[in-house]
């Protein structure tokens, strides 16, 4: 019998049934269904149609609960989540571009002056 080492599912794996996700997030299962219908948190589905949630989904559910407790409406919560996702994507892109820039051999402080060359700036005379 060959035994492969156990590897736990990652934070994106949709493994929690709705009752467990509700308990972990501190919300009622019906609230989770509503959030799924509104597109706030998209649950995975089993072959039989049951909802499954990931650790990331549960974190997101907690965020939704916190924002609504602070007085934000569900449409506002949806917009905040969209903006947070945009910020994360942009931060990843900046890090990617910084890494690519670090790999180049071009000078980092532009404009770079090269020996025996001069920069001339022309200004039009004002009348």
pLDDT tens, position by position, 1-48: 567 888 888 888 888 999 999 999 999 999 999 999 999 999 999 899
Residue pair 98/92 in contact (Cβ under 8 Å)? The answer is no
Amino acid 121: pLDDT: 67
What value does the mean pLDDT take over residues 85-109? 85
Would the pLDDT of 108 be above 60? no
Q: What is the pTM of this model?
A: 0.68
pLDDT of residue 74 exceeding 60, the answer is yes
Q: What is the mean pLDDT of residues 79-93?
A: 95
**What are the strands of the beta sheet with 16-17, ordered from one edge?**
16-17, 51-53, 44-45
């Amino acid at each position: 019998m060959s035994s492969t080492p156990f590897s736990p599912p990652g934070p994106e794996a949709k493994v929690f049934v709705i009752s467990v996700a509700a308990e972990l997030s501190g919300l009622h299962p019906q609230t989770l269904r509503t959030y799924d219908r509104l597109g706030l948190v998209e649950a995975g589905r089993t072959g039989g149609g049951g909802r499954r949630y990931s650790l990331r989904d549960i974190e997101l559910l907690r965020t939704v609960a916190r924002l609504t407790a602070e007085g934000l409406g569900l449409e506002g919560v949806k917009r905040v989540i969209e903006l947070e996702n945009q910020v994360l994507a942009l931060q990843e892109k900046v890090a990617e571009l910084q890494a690519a820039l670090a790999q180049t051999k071009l000078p980092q402080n532009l404009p770079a002056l090269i020996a025996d060359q001069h920069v001339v700036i022309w200004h039009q005379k004002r009348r």
